Structure 1
């Protein structure tokens, strides 16, 4: 069947909502009834230690798939590779469904910030979103094929044509799942993005509280991820050894990380601002204002959305679009440039699963290539200027 995918409009069918029970998020139909095939799959995913944030992400991907099946009038258990192919094509050209129209961000959507040289998000589906959608739908149908229900073949096929599994495997690299999903777009090669020192000072100066200064100073000192730093409790701060304990994203393993003395100074100021001693199991990062949400007036743990707002306010003052991941890149590039730290040291601190990821960053720095101006690039430009003067 050949479809005009550009003309297809997804219906606003169903919703993803928090749920009671073992599955924290579910897909509901317009009658507020949980979609049974999705509920059973997500229950299996949770049993395999799927994290709540991942469950929510999977639920939204499956809601999109269900809307797509509604649009093309195909039952979920009758889907074929043609439906998966056409959805991949549609995602490459479609505009995201938004609950409300853009306001302040309308002028910048899809443009490049002149200060950070970073592109603002637009309303198109990114390559990573398409790949995530394909992976979730494939895993969903793999579950139902194991159960013995659903279609006879997985609609999301692997591209193995003319290739033997692991035929060209590098013996220095670990074995990874074999088989690329057929309709996965290739990801553009992205280099780490370092915040120049002057821009970092400007960003730090735009922060409005000691809490925000302590949090960002900690993140830029060791490259900790947002999810990891937000989970730090009072007992996780080792003041004497100048380190903090985090739970690593993915592995969920506990790990002690070094932290700069400057970050600890700001952290002490933040804890003094709270006015009451911090308990060992209390989160270090809390809301600045007390709120009553039905259980009395008190502070609440800082969550990811609130952390994003911290950067949103600072970026609005500076006309920039820095993110927490830029702080991680900055920390990585600073550590790799320090000859006192080995590749293995940097890999351990950053929590990279493979040493090759750290090696790529090291090659960029010591090879004289950086995403933003720095000393290596300055030397390159100076050398090129001298070359041009002789022509």
Structure 2
């Protein structure tokens, strides 16, 4: 009678039954994407098409970014979470990043037909599987970059971006979804179990080997997190650095690039510098660190301040102390007359796109940070602690693990030199030349070869 009644249940009741007992009927209401795998319900992940549902929009209230449905109405569960997220002190950039992660999760729930408060680890697992094989949506098809997508640049030896989701994107997606459900578990709403669980080893207590000199960290890896291949820093050789610098077309670009390669500041940190953040006498630049927003004065090279002086002279009108230092070279009318606008990250990326097209490279602004770090780490007059302080790393191990590595090109060069020296060494005559073999056998207890 129970099985007969199951056949007359609604699709939602059938889903609950299958989750409880691990079974499913032959027909399922999941948009044709459901099937049976070894007697347990499973989705044909490759057949699922992610809908273009909703959007992330800028807002004027407390929360700077919101997720809205197709009608433009904010998604209430996401809005409540992002409000708490902002109250915890996170910056607008992080709010935007989390909003896009939750928009992807909401689209995924729409594709598989599951309500957000009824999601299980099966939905989180299938999203990870879908991200591993799906292509990222593009606003427009590739044109010139079609031939280079996913290939290795022969000059920089860096891989061009392709349309596949990277492991870091998948891990970020898991972190966003897990944080979202942790919030609702704390307030007693949503599912009883977080859909993105952690794995703990057997007979293991969290932080049982904790170092009292270090902060506590959550232990146990997220179950569906892919492994991220360890990448070496992308230091720019001196010759290629000179070519990139010579290809820049304005003193503004030369100033910001020279400042970045001298102190390793991040692009977002340099773009936030104001006119009052310059100490011309001591040749220092004040930045606010990414994440912590801690204030720090960083040294810059004399060349950077020379180019900076030339750039400010070209602007003509002096900047006010609170005005952003980096301005667009052309004036634009945004409704209040022709004015220069603050330089943003997309405009800075456009500078590098022009240079890369000219040189046939694929350098980025972050490569300058790696170059500065490698140069400082190889200077015997600077300690590793000095490098850590300039780069703004919270832990010394981060600096050591990333930048205290041997450069592959330098290792290959030394090995080639070693092999060349092997052939160049003069041949030393054998020790036994001119001696009687029988006398040597008596002396050393055996014959010499």
Q: TM-score range by the shorter chain?
A: over 0.9
Aligned positions, number: 385
What is the TM-score with the length of structure 2 in the denominator? 0.83
Whether 1:8 and 2:44 are equivalent positions in the alignment is: no
Q: Which moved more, 1:162-171 or 1:231-240?
A: 162-171
SS in 1 for 2:145: coil
Q: Distance in 1 between matches of 2:416 and 2:75?
A: 59
Query: Contact 1:332/1:361 (CA < 8 Å) preserved in 2?
Result: no
Query: Contact 2:233/2:403 (CA < 8 Å) preserved in 1?
Result: no
Consecutive unaligned residues of structure 1, counting only runs of 5 or more, are: none
After superposition, residues 220-239 of structure 1 pair within 5 angstroms as: 220-239=261-280
Q: 1:273 maps to what in 2?
A: 314
**Bigger RCO of structures 1 and 2 (CA < 8 A, at least 6 apart):** 1
The runs of at least 4 consecutive aligned structure 1 residues that moved more than 4 Å come to: 167-174, 387-390
Structure 1 vs Structure 2 CA RMSD: 1.7
CA, structure 1 residues 384+35, in 2 after alignment: closer, same or farther (shift >3 Å)?
farther
CA, structure 1 residues 384+362, in 2 after alignment: closer, same or farther (shift >3 Å)?
farther
CA deviations 1:236-258 (Å, max 9, x no partner) are: 11111011100001110110000
Query: Contact 1:236/1:246 (CA < 8 Å) preserved in 2?
Result: yes
Q: 1:336 maps to what in 2?
A: 377
How far apart are 1:18 and its partner, in Å?
0.9
Could you say which structure has the larger radius of gyration?
2
Q: 2:407 maps to what in 1?
A: 370
CA, structure 1 residues 112+16, in 2 after alignment: closer, same or farther (shift >3 Å)?
same
Q: Which of 102, 126, 144 is the equivalent residue of 1:86?
A: 126
Q: Distance in 1 between matches of 2:101 and 2:201?
A: 27
After superposition, residues 101-180 of structure 1 pair within 5 angstroms as: 101-162=141-202, 163-167=204-208, 169=210, 174-180=215-221
What is the TM-score with the length of structure 1 in the denominator? 0.95
Q: Distance in 2 between matches of 1:169 and 1:39?
A: 36
CA deviations 1:201-238 (Å, max 9, x no partner) are: 11111111000000000000000000100011111111
Q: Which moved more, 1:88-97 or 1:72-81?
A: 88-97
CA, structure 1 residues 317+239, in 2 after alignment: closer, same or farther (shift >3 Å)?
same
CA, structure 1 residues 23+218, in 2 after alignment: closer, same or farther (shift >3 Å)?
same
How far apart are 1:179 and its partner, in Å?
2.0
How far apart are 1:165 and its partner, in Å?
1.7
SS in 2 for 1:328: helix
CA deviations 1:304-352 (Å, max 9, x no partner) are: 1111111111111111100111100000000011111111111100101
Q: Distance in 1 between matches of 2:206 and 2:272?
A: 40
Whether 1:68 and 2:103 are equivalent positions in the alignment is: no
SS in 1 for 2:270: helix
